[in-house]
Structures are given as C-alpha cells and as structure tokens.
C-alpha cells in the first residue's frame, strides 16, 4: 500500500500538537490537547506506543489495535499524574491497518477515518464529541456541526482517565481504494462533500493532500491540520 501524510500548523496556532505515522499498511493520526507541552507529549507517546505494539504483533486484529491504544492510554495517564506541568494532557487517536483486502481500525476522540472508493467517500468512525451526541439526539444536523460553538468538546480522549473505551471495526477494501485519516483540523472545517470532490478529481496522493490543506487554509486554518492518505 502507498501511504503518506502531511501536518501543518494553523494560522492562529503557534505550535503543532498533532502527530501522524504513515508507513506501509499502518496509518495513525493523533491530535494532542492539554497545553503545548502536554499535547505534544501525549500525541507523540501514543503514536510511538501504537507503532511499537503493532510491530511486535505476530498477527493483526482489532484486538491488537485496541490493546495498543489502551496501553498508550495508561502511559499517558500515568505520566500526567506524575508531572504537574503535564496534568490534563490527552490526545485523540485513529489507527488503521490494511492486510490484503481487510482494513482493521480503532479510534478514540474526533480524529476520523474515511474510505474512498468507486462508491464514493464513507466515514468509518463516529466522533466522540459533544456535537456528535447532539446530532444523534436530533438537536442539530450534520451540516450544523462545522459552525457549532461546542464542536471541539470531546466526550472521550486518550490519557484523561485511567481507562478509556475504544471503538474498533473491520471493513473490506478493494484495489485502488483510498484510506484517509485526519484530525478535526480538516473534518471540523471542511465539508465531506468537498473532501470527496478533491479525491475524485486528484488521482495523485501527494497533490490530493496539498489540495486538502489549501482548502483548510482558504477557510482560515483556525486549527492545525493533519492528514494521512493511503491507496490500496
């Protein structure tokens, strides 16, 4: 699988707390929070831990990805309890692993996983956020999420508590399907229809990433943006 990623600091941010990993079949995006030092520390620790656990696994499954996130959660939580300057740090994480025609995934937070194929763009993950709960309750529509004042409020994150619930899934993929992971720096400001349009019009992965980042900057880039894109 071809895979690559990009991470850019937003126009109103001084530092980038996002981290990503894109090598072969393993893709990860983590969006840190809890102050500059804490957010960077949490997202970096989570990505490193997931990579280590997955590389040590003899066989990949959703359980392996889930356990990798749970291990990372314990490490971030324990570190935040040990150092006052890291108190309250945490991060999102979405991880995908492609093995032959199967995509295994796991996630916590509001970083997202999409699959793009002949049938268009499909979101694989559900945001762990306040606005997602409002959508499910019928209080607001999906279209209203991008402009809602509580769109950045998470209901679940890695490292905030001693344990965390991890969503997982398995989906069949096909040759030339594209796998997109992103922080809410993309999905929180750019409509899915525009993301789908870029992927349909640009066949080159590198240029597609650049086009998506340009959309974010044209929209004001109020947050850091991180995108990983892979092709089966």
pLDDT at 215: 95
Report the share of the chain in percent with pLDDT over 70.
Answer: 97
Q: Quote the mean pLDDT of the chain.
A: 92
Looking at residue 135, its pLDDT comes to 77
Helix (H, G, I), strand (E, B) or coil at 129: strand
Q: How confident is the model at residue 232 (pLDDT cuts 50, 70, 90)?
A: very high
- Percentage of the chain lying above the pLDDT 90 cut: 75
Q: Report pLDDT digits (tens) over 79-132.
A: 999 988 888 899 999 999 999 999 999 999 999 999 999 999 999 999 998 888
| pLDDT for residue 72 | 98
9 or 197, which is more confident? 197
Taking residues 218-226, report their average pLDDT. 87
- pLDDT confidence of residue 4: 96
| Mean pLDDT for the stretch of residues 31-48 | 88
- Calpha distance 136→35 (Å, rounded): 30
Q: What confidence score (pLDDT) does residue 88 get?
A: 85
In contact, 159 and 100? CB cutoff 8 Å: no
The pLDDT value recorded for residue 149 is 66
Q: How much is the pLDDT for 118?
A: 94
H-helix or E-strand spanning residue 187: helix 184-187
CB 88 within 8 A of CB 23: no
The span from the CA of 142 to the CA of 65, in Å, is 29
Whether 3 has a pLDDT exceeding 70, the answer reads yes
CA gap 179, 187 in Å, rounded: 14
- Residue 39 above 60 pLDDT? yes
Domains and CATH numbers, the chain: 2-231 (3.60.40.10)
* pLDDT average, residue stretch 38-48: 94
Tens-place pLDDT, residues 56-71: 999 999 999 999 999 9
């Amino acid at each position: 699988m071809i895979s690559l990623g990009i991470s850019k600091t937003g126009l109103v941010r001084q530092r980038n707390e996002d981290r990503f990993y894109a090598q072969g079949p393993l893709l990860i995006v983590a969006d840190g929070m809890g102050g500059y030092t804490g957010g960077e520390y949490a997202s970096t620790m989570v990505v490193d831990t997931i990579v280590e656990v997955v590389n040590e696994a003899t066989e990949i499954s959703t359980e392996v990805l889930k356990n990798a996130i749970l291990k990372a959660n314990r490490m971030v939580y324990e570190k935040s309890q040990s150092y006052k300057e890291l108190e309250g740090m945490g991060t999102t994480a979405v991880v995908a692993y492609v093995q032959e025609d199967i995509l295994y995934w796991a996630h916590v937070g509001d970083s997202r996983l999409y699959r793009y194929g002949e049938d268009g763009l499909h979101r694989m993950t559900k945001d762990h956020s306040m606005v997602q709960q409002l959508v499910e309750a019928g209080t607001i529509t999906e279209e209203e999420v991008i402009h809602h004042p509580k769109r950045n409020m998470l209901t679940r994150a890695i490292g905030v508590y001693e344990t965390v619930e991890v969503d997982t899934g398995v989906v069949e993929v096909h040759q030339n399907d594209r796998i997109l992971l992103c922080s809410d720096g993309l999905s929180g400001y750019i409509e899915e229809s525009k993301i789908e349009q870029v992927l349909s019009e640009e066949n080159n992965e590198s240029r597609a990433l650049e086009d998506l980042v340009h959309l974010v900057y044209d929209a004001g880039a109020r947050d850091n943006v991180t995108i990983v894109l892979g092709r089966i």
